[in-house]
């Protein structure tokens, strides 16, 4: 189901423990999250390094918003 897939992807991007479980057993985690066998097979083919990079990028963006920055670059850099 599309909602289950989207929910799992969101958890993979935001929750370290979920990512660690995914690395250990991607198909098992996907099945446990309610994905169909076809969806579980597809998601288990995600490159782990790409997932970790995306999660790190998302985390950096969230952290910068909490600090009140609109962009992670300093103001002087944008003016140059």
Q: Is 65 inside any structural domain?
A: yes
By residue range, what is the domain housing residue 21? 2-69
Distance CA 71, CA 58 (A): 13
Query: Is position 25 within any domain?
Result: yes
Identify which of 58, 19, 47, 52 has the alpha carbon closest to the alpha carbon of residue 29: 19
Provide the whole-model pTM. Answer: 0.72
Q: Which residues, 6+ apart, have CB-to-CB distance to 40 below 8 Å?
A: 26, 27, 30, 31
Higher-confidence residue of 52 and 78: namely 52
pLDDT tens-place string over residues 8-36: 999 999 999 999 999 999 999 999 999 99
Q: How many domains does the chain have?
A: 1
Q: Is residue 37 part of a domain?
A: yes
3-state secondary structure of 23: helix
């Amino acid at each position: 189901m599309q909602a289950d897939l989207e929910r799992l992807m969101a958890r993979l991007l935001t929750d370290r423990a979920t990512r660690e479980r995914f690395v250990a057993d991607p198909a098992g985690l996907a099945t446990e999250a309610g994905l169909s066998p076809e969806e579980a097979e597809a998601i288990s083919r995600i490159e782990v390094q790409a997932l970790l990079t995306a999660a790190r990028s998302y985390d950096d963006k969230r952290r910068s918003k909490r600090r009140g920055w609109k962009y992670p670059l300093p103001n002087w850099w944008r003016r140059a």
